[in-house]
Amino acid sequence: MQPLFYRPVASEAPAVPVSEASAAAPAGLAALPPAVAAAVWRGDALGRPIGTTWPSGFDPLDAVLPGGGWPGGALTELLLPLVGTLEFRLLGPLLGRIAAGGGRVVLVGPPQPPHAPGLLPHGIPIDALVWVRADTAAERLWATEQLLKAGSCGAVLAWLPQARPEQLRRLQVHAAASEAPALLCRPAVAARESSAAPLRLLAHAGPGWQLQVDLLKRKGPPLALTLSLSAPPAGLPAVWPARLAEAGRSLSVVPSEASHAVVRAEAIEHRRTARFH
């Protein structure tokens, strides 16, 4: 009786040198349609982005991101130990670049109301900013999904601390149809959960004005390295004295929520002095 399945023995399998097999893989991509070839990547190299990429404003970060910048057409998760503190220090250069190009920056459900004077140093004028006030998790998720489906925003920055894996998968499907960066801010504990986002980063405050960034997930090999990015509060280097800049290199600075671009409503009401972040 013939076996149901047949597997050739080692002597019957054609011997292909490793060097030839490795060289044949990229060559075979040339025969594929461009859209398909762009979606194929080898695990030992950075993947090629399908959509547009934007420089992050940090050369060390661009060097390890697929395509050399923040991706469009895909979700990016930014995980933080305390939301509302470091987002704009890391994303400010990107959002300012998009606003300078005429794009609208949409904030969905930020933890505190946006503070326009705090966003100006990033190059984000008030007429380029849209604040979607969504108080519940369901409202934030629905608004983010509709914005991604519409594809009419320059960038979408949403705070979704309670998003479930299946909800992130749906958002990734909608983000893939848009060229705009889709940025989700979530708590650091979400790193334990699965996510459909192709890019996930964990950021926290480091010594001085540094940001410590770990790439938890990217389209490419794992990065066992914590990036140290020089990210002083926007606008502050132009006015601080040399001694403050020197002190910032040796001190550990953890910004408070009230000093961020997203500040407490009572701070606005009392017209406290704006702090740069």
Q: What is the DSSP string of 144-207?
A: HHHHHHHT--SEEEEE-TT--HHHHHHHHHHHTT-SS-EEEEEEGGGGGS----SEEEEEEE-B
Residue 34 sits in the same domain as residue 111: no
Q: Is residue 4 part of a domain?
A: no
Q: Is residue 224 part of a domain?
A: yes
pLDDT band for position 49 (50/70/90)?
low
pLDDT computed for residue 71 by the predictor: 93
β-strands 75-80, 182-187 pairing: parallel
Kindly provide the b/e burial profile for residues 243-263, where b requires at least 16 CB atoms within 10 angstroms of the residue's own CB: eeeeebeeeeeebeebbbbbb
Q: Is residue 115 part of a domain?
A: yes
Q: What is the DSSP string of 103-117?
A: PPEEEES-SS-B-HH
pLDDT computed for residue 4 by the predictor: 43
Q: Is residue 275 part of a domain?
A: no
Q: Is residue 78 part of a domain?
A: yes
116 alpha carbon, distance to own chain's centre: 22
Cut 0.75: pTM above it: no
Residue 40 sits in the same domain as residue 63: no
pLDDT band for position 246 (50/70/90)?
low
Rounded distance between C-alpha atoms, residue 137 and residue 164, angstroms: 11
Q: What is the pLDDT of residues 163-211, one digit of tens each?
A: 999 999 999 999 998 889 999 999 999 999 999 999 999 999 998 789 9
The count of structural domains within the chain is: 2
Q: Which residue has the higher pLDDT, 157 or 230?
A: 157
Residue 56 sits in the same domain as residue 33: no
**Contact by Cβ (8 Å): 234, 122:** yes
Residue 276 in this model has a pLDDT that exceeds 80: no
Residue 20 sits in the same domain as residue 88: no
CATH of the domain at 215: 3.40.50.300
Residue 33 sits in the same domain as residue 60: no
pLDDT band for position 223 (50/70/90)?
confident
Residue 187 sits in the same domain as residue 149: yes
Residue 24 sits in the same domain as residue 91: no
Rounded distance between C-alpha atoms, residue 245 and residue 156, angstroms: 33
Rounded distance between C-alpha atoms, residue 46 and residue 69, angstroms: 12
Question: Residue 268 to residues 84, 146, 161: CA-CA distances in angstroms?
Answer: 16, 30, 25
Q: Is residue 65 part of a domain?
A: yes
Rounded distance between C-alpha atoms, residue 234 and residue 92, angstroms: 8
- Average pLDDT of the residues of the chain: 78
Rounded distance between C-alpha atoms, residue 71 and residue 206, angstroms: 25
Residue 154 sits in the same domain as residue 81: yes
Residue 88 sits in the same domain as residue 26: no
Residue 139 sits in the same domain as residue 177: yes
Residue 134 sits in the same domain as residue 171: yes
Q: Is residue 64 part of a domain?
A: yes
Rounded distance between C-alpha atoms, residue 157 and residue 77, angstroms: 10
pLDDT computed for residue 264 by the predictor: 34
Residue 178 sits in the same domain as residue 201: yes
Residue 22 in this model has a pLDDT that exceeds 70: no
Residue 140 in this model has a pLDDT that exceeds 70: yes
pLDDT band for position 16 (50/70/90)?
very low
Determine what percent of the chain is predicted with pLDDT higher than 70.
69
Rounded distance between C-alpha atoms, residue 174 and residue 253, angstroms: 37
DSSP 8-state code for residue 1: -
**Contact by Cβ (8 Å): 121, 274:** no
Q: Is residue 166 part of a domain?
A: yes
> Domain range spanning residue 241?
51-269
**DSSP reduced 3-state for 244:** helix
